[in-house]
C-alpha cells in the first residue's frame, strides 16, 4: 500500500508539471488576446485556479469540523507561497516585481493577514475563553475580497495591455482549451499528491494542525510552485509573482471567509502564532521587493531559510 502511495505521488508531480506548462501558455495568450495586463491574469485567473486545492481542502475540513486542517491549510499554504514558492523561483531565476504588486497587492495581502490576526484575537480584545473566527468575521473577509477584486479589474480597464504587431496571438478557443486542460491536470495532480502525502503523514502519527501546516499546505501549494517556476522561465514574471500574491489574498479573504461562513472556526493559541508568522513573512517580501529591481537569488535564499526555520519550529512544538 505504501508503494502505491509513492507511485501516485510521482503521477501527481507529472500531472502538475505538464498541467502548469499548458496553463501558463493558455493564460498568457488570453491576456494578449483581450489586452489584459499579465499581472492581472496572474492575480485572478491563475491565482484562483491554483487555489482550487486549498478551497476544496478548507471547505471540506470546515464541513467536517476539522478546524486544525481548515485554518492550518490556508495559513500554511500562504507561508509556503511567500517563502518557499517565491524563494525557490527566485533562486532558479531572478524575478522582477511589477510596480502595482508593490504599491497595491503586497500591502493588501498584509492587510488581509493582519485582519485575520485581529479578528481571531477574541481572548485579547473580548476577554473570551477561546479565539473564534465567526460567520460575521467571514462576511467581513469576503467584503474585503470584493473590494480587492474591484480594484484589480478597475486597474485592468484603465490600463489595457499593449500588444505589438509582432505578437502572434493564438485563437481564443485554443488558449481557453489549453488553460482548462492545464487546470484539470493541476487539480488532478494536486489531489494525487495531497492524498498520498496525507496517508504517509498519518502513518507517522502527525496532528491535524501539523498536517495542515506542512504536508497539505505544501501539497496544495504545488500548483503555485510549478506555475511560478514555469512562468518565470518563460519570461512571464508578472504571472509568476502575481500568482503567489493573488493566491495568498484569495486564500485568506475568500477561502477562509467562505469556510467560516459555513462553520465558525476555533483558533488555537499555536495557530494564532502561525498567523503572526504569516504577517511577518508578508512584511519580509514587501521589504525585499524594490521597484525596477529583481528579487535575486540572495533574496530567494533568505526566504527559503525563513521557511526552514519556521518548519523546524512547528515540528519541535
Confirm whether 171 is domain-assigned. Answer: no
Contact of 79 with 281, CB cutoff 8 Å: yes
Confirm whether 185 is domain-assigned. Answer: no
Q: Coil, strand, or helix at residue 34? A: coil
Predicted pLDDT at 204: 67
Mean pLDDT of 161-187: 71
Nearest to 79 by CA among 317, 251, 287, 211: 251
Grid cell of 15 as nine digits:
500531472
Confirm whether 244 is domain-assigned. Answer: yes
**CA of residue 291 relative to chain centroid, distance:** 23
pLDDT at 280 over 90: yes
Half-sphere exposure of 111 toward its Cβ, with a 13 Å CA cutoff? 12
Confirm whether 19 is domain-assigned. Answer: no
Ramachandran bin of 99, using left for φ above 0, alpha for ψ from -120 to 50, beta for the remaining angles: alpha
Half-sphere exposure of 227 toward its Cβ, with a 13 Å CA cutoff? 42
Confirm whether 169 is domain-assigned. Answer: no
Nearest to 45 by CA among 223, 197, 188, 259: 223
Nearest to 110 by CA among 138, 148, 142: 148
Q: How many domains are there within the chain?
A: 1
Confirm whether 8 is domain-assigned. Answer: no
Contacts of 36 (CB under 8 A, 6+ apart): 30, 156, 160, 161
pLDDT at 165 over 60: no
Determine the Cα–Cα distance for residues 240 and 226; give it in Å rounded to an integer: 10
The band of 160, judged by pLDDT with boundaries at 50, 70 and 90, is low
Q: Coil, strand, or helix at residue 273? A: helix
Beta-bridge partners for 132: 266
Q: What is the pTM of this model?
A: 0.76
Mean pLDDT of 159-163: 57
Domain with residue 135: its CATH number is 1.20.1420.30
Confirm whether 13 is domain-assigned. Answer: no
Residue 104 burial class via C-beta count within 10 angstroms: exposed 0-12, middle 13-18, buried 19 and up: middle
Q: What is the pLDDT of residues 224-259, one digit of tens each?
A: 787 788 888 877 777 778 878 888 898 899 989 998
Predicted pLDDT at 79: 92
Q: What is the pLDDT of residues 18-40, one digit of tens each?
A: 776 777 678 777 777 777 776 67
Q: 274: how many CB neighbours lie within 10 A of its CB?
A: 22
Grid cell of 49 as nine digits:
485556479
Confirm whether 96 is domain-assigned. Answer: yes
Mean pLDDT of 293-309: 90
- Identify the domain containing residue 259 by its residue range: 37-158+205-316
pLDDT at 295 over 50: yes
Determine the Cα–Cα distance for residues 124 and 133; give it in Å rounded to an integer: 14
Q: How far is CA 131 from CA 71, 119, 209, 253, in A?
A: 12, 9, 16, 18
Amino acid at each position: 500500500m505504501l508503494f502505491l502511495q509513492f507511485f501516485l505521488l510521482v503521477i501527481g508531480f507529472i500531472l502538475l508539471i505538464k498541467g502548469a506548462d499548458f496553463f501558463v501558455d493558455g493564460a498568457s495568450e488570453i491576456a494578449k488576446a483581450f489586452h489584459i495586463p499579465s499581472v492581472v491574469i496572474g492575480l485572478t485567473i491563475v491565482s484562483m485556479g491554483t487555489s482550487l486545492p486549498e478551497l476544496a481542502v478548507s471547505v471540506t475540513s470546515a464541513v467536517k469540523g476539522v478546524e486544525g486542517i481548515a485554518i492550518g491549510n490556508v495559513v500554511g499554504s500562504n507561508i509556503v507561497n511567500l517563502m518557499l514558492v517565491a524563494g525557490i523561483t527566485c533562486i532558479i531565476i531572478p524575478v522582477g516585481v511589477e510596480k502595482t504588486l508593490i504599491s497595491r497587492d503586497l500591502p493588501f495581502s498584509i492587510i488581509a493577514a493582519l485582519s485575520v490576526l485581529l479578528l481571531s484575537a477574541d481572548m485579547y480584545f473580548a476577554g473570551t475563553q477561546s479565539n473564534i473566527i465567526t460567520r460575521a468575521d467571514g462576511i467581513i473577509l469576503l467584503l474585503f475580497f470584493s473590494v480587492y477584486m474591484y480594484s484589480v479589474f478597475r486597474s485592468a480597464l484603465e490600463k489595457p495591455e499593449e500588444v505589438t504587431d509582432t505578437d502572434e496571438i493564438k485563437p481564443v478557443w485554443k488558449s481557453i482549451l489549453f488553460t482548462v486542460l492545464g487546470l484539470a491536470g493541476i487539480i488532478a495532480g494536486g489531489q494525487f499528491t495531497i492524498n498520498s502525502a496525507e496517508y504517509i503523514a498519518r502513518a507517522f502519527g502527525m496532528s491535524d494542525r501539523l498536517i495542515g501546516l506542512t504536508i497539505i499546505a505544501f501539497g496544495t501549494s504545488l500548483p503555485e510552485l510549478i506555475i511560478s517556476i514555469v512562468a518565470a522561465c518563460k519570461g512571464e514574471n508578472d504571472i509568476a509573482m502575481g500568482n503567489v500574491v493573488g493566491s495568498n489574498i484569495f486564500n485568506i479573504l475568500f477561502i477562509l471567509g467562505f469556510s467560516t461562513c459555513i462553520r465558525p472556526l476555533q483558533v488555537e493559541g499555536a495557530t494564532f502564532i502561525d498567523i503572526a508568522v504569516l504577517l511577518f513573512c508578508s512584511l519580509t517580501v514587501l521589504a525585499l521587493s524594490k521597484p525596477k529591481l529583481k528579487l535575486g537569488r540572495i533574496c530567494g535564499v533568505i526566504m527559503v531559510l525563513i521557511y526552514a526555520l519556521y518548519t523546524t519550529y512547528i515540528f519541535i512544538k
